A and B are shown apart, each in its own frame.
Chain A
């Protein structure tokens, strides 16, 4: 069945470091892919999305490219800030009601 596997955390980085959080997926069809972010004490917010192969989603300096050949959707940011500290979830949508989440990766950015 469909599933998402993302890099386990926690991840700790210094401010201005480069961030990569790996996400790979398994799907029988052509899913849409998402990254969600959860700041402390809050619900999940959509960070970025890509709906077809080779699409690049981007928001707030974060980017992820939908790679069908490697079934991946890795999250990257060139220079993280303390305010980026949060839990990040990769997700796959294979229809209106079939949303699969990864287990989440906690990122802590230290000054």
Chain B
């Protein structure tokens, strides 16, 4: 089974702190994604990466950055956390093969910024 793991299930940080959310997948997938999930808004794409050291902005990249130094690891960074970044963060990975894409999701990190 594909495993996508996230470093924390629950995280509480203070406004202004630098926050790192880590995601690791064990199936050698090329593409990895970070979403945030908010009530009534569904999933919104923050950033994605299609290869090591490559990244693309999603729909809501403001206030976030990412790092992909190794193929299996994709990190989301909140440079200076704010209360409006309180949310559920979901990491996902997908194969690069054509025609039969599936996204595999991690369990999520519920971040609270106080």
By a beta-carbon cutoff of 8 Å, the part of chain A in contact with chain B is 32, 36, 41-46, 49, 51, 89, 93, 96-97, 99, 101-104
Contact = CB atoms under 8 A, between A and B. Distances in A.
A43 B43 contact: no
Given A44-B90, A51-B100, A103 B105 contact: no
Contacts of B90: 43-44
Given A96-B31, A96-B94, A97-B50, A46 B42 contact: no
Interface of B: 4, 31, 33, 40-43, 45, 48, 50, 56, 90, 92, 94, 96, 98-108
Given A44-B90, A99-B103, 7 more contacts: A42-B108, A44-B105, A45-B105, A46-B104, A93-B101, A99-B33, A99-B94
A93 B103 CA distance: 10
A81 B13 CA distance: 38
Given A43-B108, A45-B105, A96-B94, A51 B43 contact: no
B50 A96 contact: yes
Given A51-B100, A97-B48, A89 B31 contact: no
Contact of A101 (B4, B43, B96, B107): B43
Given A96-B31, A97-B48, A104-B42, A43 B100 contact: no
B43 A46 contact: no
